[in-house]
Chain A
Amino acid sequence: MKEPAIVFENVSKYYLLYHQIVGGVKGFLFHMPRVLREVRNSKLWVLKDLSFEIYRGETFGIIGRNGVGKSTLLQLMASVIKSSSGNITVKGTIAPLLGLGSGFHPDLTGKENIIVNGMILGMTKREILGKLGAIMEFAELGEFIDQPLRIYSSGMLARLGFSVVVHTEPDILLVDEILTVGDHEFRQKCKAKINDFRERGGTIVIASHDMGTIQSICDRAMWMEKQRVNEIAEAKTTVSNYIAAMQAAPKTAKAAAI
């Protein structure tokens, strides 16, 4: 029996267009009634009435053009933002794969950053110290591990970031367009680690434009179009349908997207 790890029930999300007031206090104070009215009426719908389940132990891909709400979806899963309506249930601990070097400080060494980052991702100090050896070994940064981060290349930063996250051992791992960094060898290693994670029953959610990755590591994939779910099927099926649709109407689709 498949057990759900993440359940979305009729989830919708809109943003109010706060950029009107982010502009400045002055404009807000002088035109308060008008600005408030505009903000309240200016709903930008990002997701409309989404319902789906992601099962425990599954690797789930999310594909779709830029701006269809993939990142918003991941933010909702991580409960960083609230949905406007609908229910979201998440069973288990969840960890995001942070963007390149976020939460890292350039003046601290690799080792010091591992400790801070691991704790930000929810590990206790004792846990992270216990895993420090494994993380450093996995990152394979050699002597660089004791050097400040500002001399790291972007590939090295990605290695460090990825190494910390996979060692936090969450139940659910959220990946937003990251796996394409690092050299070939490291990528193989990441894939191995992800497979390892899946075999131990971990759930992975990946939002990506890299159809190859989605096809090769995901069990199922969801194609999003115009703020809604267009298709949920086996990864191979979804990807080939998506590619076919993109090729069939590339220009009109792009125009519509803009």
Chain B
Amino acid sequence: MNLRQNVELLLELTKKEIKIRYKNAFLGYLWSLASPLASALVYYFVFNMVMRSRIDNFSLFLISGLFPWQWFANSVILSASVFISNRSLIQKTTLPRTILLLASILNGAVHFLLSVPVIGLFLLMAGKRPCLIWLVGLPALLIPQFLIIFGVSLLVSSINVFFRDLQHLVGVLMNFLFFFTPIVYSETMIPKSIQPFVFLNPMMPIVVAYRNLFLNGTFSVVPWFVSLVTGLLLVAVGYSVYSRLKWKFAELL
């Protein structure tokens, strides 16, 4: 298969997954928003009503970081089982295995983009309005985030074929990482002593950048570039592990 065919197939598989997800048109869309909004509601209750966060417009603040985070977390968690659930294809066809991963990540991207109007709605309710810079900032941020997700997914999915309990571990790790990422709090609230370590979290600059974009309409190039480099590095590491292990997939599944 050549590159064009692979891209065609990737788009078709993504379309397929989206079609399945939104099978019942509008209701499908509402359902897909139900789960991110439900978790937003829970965090709103805990951190704003109970813990009385000092952040203004907490709900808006929360979802502008939470929605991009969920694309990352859901895609990585799903990636763990992607090869196992496509067992028969891997055992019988030479279909590039990365296409299965990419389709699932792209599906998550579409899902995330469809939730952006909700952020816009909250913004309007807070008396602000979406800025034109979104049109540049949003696509620009999608790229490093996509790379980070792809890199981590390559690692997780390949290794999970060997260690099947990794998928449970990933769920737990995602929970940790969620609270180490400034989503329910602001990055300025992190104690000085811990500051140097937060940069080990690849999702940290991404989430902060999304929030600045959505809330303040600002976009800074330097953190974006750092994320881009992080993403490329993760893909390089993930891909080298994947290429070493991929020949064993059909044997082990």
A interface residue numbers (CB < 8 A to B): 15, 18, 21-26, 28, 75, 78-82, 96, 98-99, 102-103, 105, 107-108, 112, 115-116, 119-122, 124-125, 176
Q: How many residues belonging to B are interface residues under a CB distance threshold of 8 Å?
A: 32
Complex A-B: 7 CB contacts under 8 Å: A26-B165, A80-B250, A81-B250, A96-B92, A108-B20, A120-B93, A125-B12
- B19, B166, B252: the one contacting A112 at CB < 8 Å is B19
- B89, B94, B163: the one contacting A103 at CB < 8 Å is B89
B163 lies within 8 A of A21 (CB): yes
B92 lies within 8 A of A99 (CB): yes
Q: Does B88 contact A (CB under 8 A)?
A: yes
Give complex CA distance A15, B164 in Å: 18
Knowing A21-B163, A25-B165, A99-B92, the reply to whether A105 touches B252 (Cβ < 8 A) is no
- A21, A80, A107, A115: the one contacting B90 at CB < 8 Å is A80
- Give the residues in chain B near A96, CB-CB below 8 Å: 92-93
Least distance between A106 CB and chain B CB atoms (Å) = 9
Interface centre among B19, B20, B89, B248 (most CB of A within 10 A): B89
8 A-B pairs with the lowest CB-CB distances in the bound complex, closest first: A102-B88, A96-B92, A24-B165, A80-B250, A25-B163, A119-B9, A81-B250, A82-B247
A119 lies within 8 A of B8 (CB): yes
Taken residue by residue from 54 to 73, chain B's Cβ proximity to chain A (1 for < 8 Å, 0 otherwise) reads as 00000000000000000000
Knowing A78-B94, A103-B89, A122-B1, the reply to whether A22 touches B251 (Cβ < 8 A) is no
Interface residues of B in 1-21 (CB under 8 A from A): 1, 4-5, 8-9, 12-13, 16, 19-20
Q: Does B226 contact A (CB under 8 A)?
A: no
Least distance between A228 CB and chain B CB atoms (Å) = 20
- Give the residues in chain A near B252, CB-CB below 8 Å: 18, 22
B5 lies within 8 A of A102 (CB): no
B91 lies within 8 A of A75 (CB): yes
Least distance between A122 CB and chain B CB atoms (Å) = 6
Give complex CA distance A105, B91 in Å: 17
Give complex CA distance A81, B12 in Å: 26
- Give the residues in chain A near B52, CB-CB below 8 Å: none
Give complex CA distance A79, B93 in Å: 8
- Give the residues in chain A near B9, CB-CB below 8 Å: 119-120
B94 lies within 8 A of A80 (CB): yes
Give complex CA distance A24, B87 in Å: 19
Give complex CA distance A92, B51 in Å: 67
**Known A81-B247, A102-B89; further 19 A-B contacts with Cβ < 8 A:** A22-B164, A23-B164, A24-B164, A24-B165, A26-B165, A78-B92, A78-B93, A79-B94, A80-B92, A80-B93, A81-B251, A96-B92, A103-B88, A116-B13, A116-B16, A119-B8, A119-B9, A119-B12, A120-B89
Q: Please, which residue of chain A has its CB at the minimum distance from the CB of B20?
A: A107
Q: Does B95 contact A (CB under 8 A)?
A: yes
Least distance between A56 CB and chain B CB atoms (Å) = 21
Give complex CA distance A79, B248 in Å: 12
Give complex CA distance A21, B13 in Å: 32
Give complex CA distance A80, B251 in Å: 9
Q: Please, which residue of chain B has its CB at the minimum distance from the CB of A80?
A: B250
Q: Please, which residue of chain B has its CB at the minimum distance from the CB of A15?
A: B251
Give complex CA distance A187, B55 in Å: 69
- B19, B92, B165, B247: the one contacting A102 at CB < 8 Å is B92
- Give the residues in chain B near A120, CB-CB below 8 Å: 9, 89, 93, 95
A18 lies within 8 A of B248 (CB): yes
- Give the residues in chain B near A121, CB-CB below 8 Å: 93
- A23, A80, A112: the one contacting B16 at CB < 8 Å is A112
Least distance between B247 CB and chain A CB atoms (Å) = 5
